[in-house]
Structures are given as structure tokens and as C-alpha cells.
A and B are shown apart, each in its own frame.
Chain A
Amino acid sequence: MAADEKVPVTEVSEAFPFPERSRLLEGVRAYGLIMAMWVRSTMAYRASFAMTLFGDFAVTAFDFATILLMFTHVDALGGYTLPEIALLYGLSATAFGLCDLLLGSMDRVGRRVRDGTLDTLLVRPVPVLAQVAADRFALRRLGRITQGLLVLGYALVSLDIAWTPLKVLMLPMMVVSGAAIFGAIFVAGAAFQFVAQDASEVQNSFTYGGTTLLQYPPTIFAKDLVRGVTFVVPLAFVSWLPALYVLDREYPVDLPQWVAFLPPLVAVACWALAGLAWRTGLRAYRSTGS
């Protein structure tokens, strides 16, 4: 009987080549297919790839060099020592780098709308979001992650922390949730480009600007700004809130300690909103065509 059942299964898939599949899984699969094409495209120009990989690494490394330079004149910045700031920096840079690697070209949606190439994505049988997310997938962005991980490594080696299992677990949680929060901002920003096609800079101010902000301790910023990135655009959940728990530091805005464990939930909420924004944006495009 069991052997009998096996045969019809393949037949069914022959007869009905387009069964309903999970949109999420289809999207991830399509992302993988397109990503592989971009990686192969990149490898058509190996020398150029090697140079840009190094370039991305070097350019982002300058950020940390700036901080090192400051510490040649001061011992602490906003009450934080160099290894502590390195932890903030490393977490934020790694999370952002991961997101940038996976979704880095989403800000091209506006250009695709303008030159009409978005239409070629809409006639394919896979989710548009996956196609846009994988667009121009660039391995050279590993340079940014490498740099972030190096700084993070330095911080973990030089910091004197009373490690608990919870604190250890928080490190990967922070990187993944942080990347997801940044990712939601990328998606929401891309959705906004359906309405305003030249708005990629607005998005960049939140993403690239955000990661720079998070590389410094919250104590050096005005309280209103800190509240803004906690409650409005929840960037504080990327690194500040959970990292301050790891460092046993007080959060400048009065908040209970358990908020340090919220990043995964915040990430899910952000994605729900971003997904809604994306659907709305795509629907607006399909009704206006511009």
C-alpha cells in the first residue's frame, strides 16, 4: 500500500504543475535562485570582485579608526570605555552588515519603477518582494560584516564581563534581531519608493545613519533623540538596549530591564508593518503604474 502511494505523488505534480505553495517558502526559494545568479555574475569579474570586497572592508574600517583616534585623546566617551564602545559598534555593524548583504539593493525599487523594469518582475510566478530583495545581491558586502565581526571579537576579548548563559545567548539574538529590524526598515523604505521614487536617501538616513548612531553610546545623544530611536524607529533594540544589559549599564531613558529581551518581538512587529507597507505600495503601483 505504501509503495502504491508513492507513485501517484509524482504523477499529481506532473498533472498539476502549479499547486498552492507557501508564499514565504516560494519567496525564499526564489531569493536563493536569483542570489545564485548574481553571485555567478559577480564571479565573471573576479579581480573587480576582490577589489570591491577589500574596498568595502576598508571603507567601513575607517569608521572604527575614527573611534580609535578619539580614544588617543580621551579615556572614555560618554562614560564608556573603548572595549565597551567596540561592543556597541561591533554588534551594530555586524547586524547592519548582515542586513545589507541580504537586502542591500532594495533601494533600487524607485529606479526600477522609473525605468519600467519592475514590470518584468511582476510577470514572474514568484513574489516580487523576493525578486527585489535579491536584486544585485553582492558578496562584496561581506567586507562590512567581516569588519563588524573583527571589532566585535576585539570587544569580547578585551571586555571583563561576568558571562551568564543568558548573556552569551543574547549575542546571536542581537545580531539576528538587529539585522531583521534594519531589514524591516529597508523593506518599508522600498515600499515608500512606490509613492516617491527618489526617496532612497530618506531610507538611507535611517539605515546607514542609524548604524552610525548605534556605534556610539546613547549617553552622548540628546534624550529626545534616544526616545525617538526607541519608540518611533526602534533602532535602540538593535544594539543599545540589549547590549547595555550585557554591559550592566543603565539605559539613559527610564525603562525596565526586561526590554533588553524584546528585540525578537520588535523585529517581528517591524516586519509585520513593513510587509503591510510593501503590499500597500505594490498595490498603489499596480493601480497607478507609476
Chain B
Amino acid sequence: MGDGTGTGTGTGVGTATDMSPATGAGGDGFITLDGVEKVFQVRRRTGLLRRERREVRAVDGISFRVARGEMVGYIGPNGAGKSTTIKMLTGILTPSGGRLRVAGIDPSRERTRLAHRIGVVFGQRTTLWWDLPLRDSYRLMHRMYRIPDRRYRENLDRCVELLDLAELLEVPVRQLSLGQRMRGDIAAALLHDPEVLYLDEPTIGLDVISKAKVRQFLKELNTERGTTVLLTTHDLTDIEQLCNRVMVIDHGRLMYDGSLEGLHEVGESERMLVVDLESELPPIVLESEGAGGGPALRAVKVEGPRQWLAFPAAASAAPLVARIAADYPLVDLSVREPDIEAVIARMYESAP
């Protein structure tokens, strides 16, 4: 059980820890954002004719650099500015302020030129052709991006093999399952050899097996081809399994940029001890053994004979278990790893 979780190396807000393999960036990153802002004018009807104008700062001065070949998770609650950032990085939206470069290109000015060098997967919007066999969608990409024939065949063969698409190529997209379609979408975004791949919620709605396949593929893509990957997700397992680096955004600001372990430290993360007692008892109380006093753990939830006890992720579980076993009629127990979701939720709460 992860003893390493407490020894984080994260350095908190504002420090980009460069964990890219070999291809570390000198000076400008492959993706560079300097004080990028996006301000929307929202008009709301307040009366019959009266309208209220309000400024919404969806992205409020974000700066970061991503080196070529990095794999970065970009997380935040709904409306935090994740999608807006991705839309600016892909050239869909024009920033209101700041400087933004992807592969040396200003996305909003040279959107179509950039399009040749990036791949985009919108988790909830397929770009595949509903009524046509999967292969037809790929043929369209082939011609639309003017991919040289040989490269197209190589890329398609590789995607088909790694994403397990061989059986699906002749099947109309409408007959594919959600997981199959997502794999199909990812392949479609990679046929033109993009240097960077943006994935917006790539595993949303997928079953466990499909999620694993997608993650495995992205990992291989990153290590073998050196493709830079930036993904937004609500599923933090994606981040845990894929990304060395995580960025947390809330209210349009970058709250954290660093390693996942560091996030636990910054967020004062806790592990959870789930104990089954012989009978229903009042919440377990354990005083700290050290001098400082204060409880060593706190009961989060009690449900019949089962209790959920939280303790700092850095602390060792063994002495706690021993003491509980000594004082209480313990039947069974399990330890749950720090819930990164809770960590992040706490981070949002503590935000100004």
C-alpha cells in the first residue's frame, strides 16, 4: 500500500516541474502561455427590456510552459476555464490578453496552419461519420489533411493495431459502442502525425476495459512517438496513470502546477481506514501518540458496524491499526489510498 504517497516532490503553485523525457525545453516551451486571459461579456435579461452586462473572466492570467513530449493533466471543476484554455490552444477562441504559442504558432492567427500540427479529441463530440464505416472517416482525414499515402497507411496500421480497431473498420460508426467510438476518434486525430494531442475528457462514459485500453495507448504514443499530450479529465485515475505533471485550474487561475505527489502534500491529503467492528459502536477516538496531542484520526462516517476513519496520508497505517485492534472488537479492515478528488475539492474550497 503506497507508502510513497507522502513523500511528494511537488513545489506548489507557479513552479513548472519539467519532467519531460530527454527533450527538455530551453527558453520557450513547446506550448507557451504568458498571462493569457479570456474575458466574456455575458448579457443577462434582468427585466422585460433591461439587460445587465457582466464580465466573466473565464481565464484570468494563466502562464505555463509545456516541453515537447510532456504528458500533462489539466483538471478543474466545471466552469473553471479548462475548456476555454483548450479552445485558445487550438485556435478556436481568440485570447483577450496575454501571449500564447503552440509550436511557435499563434493559434488564433494561424488556425488552419496549426491544425496540421495538432490533434484534438472532444470526448463528448465525435468527429466520425455516423452512418459510414469507420474506414470512410479515416479516408476523409487522409484527403482533408493531405497526408502522404505511405504515412497514412503506416499511421492507420499502427492505430488499428494498438487501439484494436481491425474488426471495426468496416462497421458503421452508429453501431459502435461508446468505448469503440472513442478509440476510433483518437485514431482519427492521430493520422496526420500531430505533434501535440489535446484530449477533452477522453475517458468520459467509458467502461473499465475501454478506459484501460485508451490509457495504455496514450502512454505508448507518448513514450514511443514523443507526442505531447494535454488532457482534461474528471477521472483522476487518468491523471494518476498517465501524467507526470498535473495542473489544477479554478476560477480561471492556475492553482497548482507540479507532480501528482506534490498535490497530495499541498492539499493535505488523507488516507482512509475502513474498519468493520463486531457491533455498532460510537465513532472511534484515538489520541496522538506523540507529544503534540490532537486526534490521530477522525471518524468521517459511521454506518452500522462499519466506520470510515481518515488519517494524514504521510502517517503510517500500521500503528493505528494495531491500536484499534487492541481497543476495539475489530473484524475486518481495509486502507484506501488518498482520494485525490477530495484533495482537489479541498483546494478549491481554500481558494480565495
Contacts and interface: CB of A to CB of B under 8 A. Distances in A.
B127 A120 contact: yes
Given A40-B136, A41-B129, A289-B84, A125 B143 contact: no
Among B40, B112, B120, the most chain A Cβ lie within 10 Å of the Cβ of B112
Given A33-B143, A40-B136, A286-B94, A126 B127 contact: no
Contact of A126 (B112, B131, B132): B112
A288 interface: yes
A290 B300 CA distance: 43
A11 B93 CA distance: 35
A289 B93 contact: yes
Given A44-B132, A125-B145, A37 B140 contact: yes
Contact of A286 (B92, B113, B130, B136): B92
Interface in B84-109: 84, 87, 90-94, 96, 108
B350 interface: no
Given A123-B120, A125-B115, A287-B94, A44 B172 contact: yes
B41 A288 contact: yes
Interface string B128-141: 01111000100010
A44 to B, nearest CB: 5
B148 interface: yes
Contact of A289 (B87, B129, B130): B87
Contacts of B40: 288-290
Interface residues of B, number: 34
B116 interface: yes
B118 interface: yes
A41 B131 contact: yes
A44 B127 contact: no
A92 B146 CA distance: 39
Contact of A123 (B84, B115, B146, B147): B115
A251 B112 CA distance: 48
Given A123-B115, A287-B93, A116 B125 contact: yes
A124 B148 contact: no
A81 B346 CA distance: 81
A33 B113 CA distance: 19
A127 B147 CA distance: 18
A111 to B, nearest CB: 13
Interface in B45-88: 84, 87
Nearest to A30: B144
Given A44-B132, A126-B144, A18 B116 contact: yes
A14 B115 contact: no
Contacts of B140: 33-34, 37
B111 interface: yes
Interface in A81-140: 116-117, 119-120, 122-127
A125 B92 contact: no
A45 interface: yes
A29 to B, nearest CB: 9
A123 B113 CA distance: 10
Contacts of A256: none
A8 interface: no
B217 interface: no
Contact of B122 (A120, A125, A287): A120
B113 to A, nearest CB: 6
Contacts of B96: 287
Contacts of B108: 286
A165 interface: no
B91 A125 contact: no
Given A18-B113, A33-B140, A37-B140, A122 B90 contact: yes
A120 B125 contact: yes
A214 B108 CA distance: 43
A37 B145 CA distance: 15
Contact of A40 (B84, B125, B132): B132
A37 B136 CA distance: 8
Contacts of B143: 33
Contacts of A30: 144
Contacts of B130: 41
Among A34, A40, A124, the most chain B Cβ lie within 10 Å of the Cβ of A124
Contacts of B131: 41, 44-45
Contacts of B144: 30, 33, 124-126
A231 B129 CA distance: 43
A288 to B, nearest CB: 6
Contacts of A122: 90-92, 111
Contacts of A127: 112
Nearest to A125: B115
A119 B122 contact: yes
A119 B112 contact: no
Given A40-B132, A125-B115, A119 B92 contact: yes
Interface string A264-290: 000000000000000000010011111
18 contacts: A17-B146, A17-B147, A34-B140, A37-B129, A37-B136, A40-B136, A41-B131, A44-B131, A44-B172, A117-B125, A120-B120, A120-B122, A122-B91, A123-B92, A124-B112, A127-B112, A287-B93, A289-B87
Interchain residue pairs A-B with the least CB separation, the first 9:
A125-B115, A41-B131, A44-B131, A122-B92, A123-B120, A125-B112, A18-B116, A286-B94, A287-B94
Given A37-B136, A41-B132, 13 more contacts: A17-B116, A17-B147, A119-B87, A119-B122, A120-B125, A122-B90, A123-B115, A123-B120, A125-B113, A126-B144, A286-B108, A287-B93, A289-B92
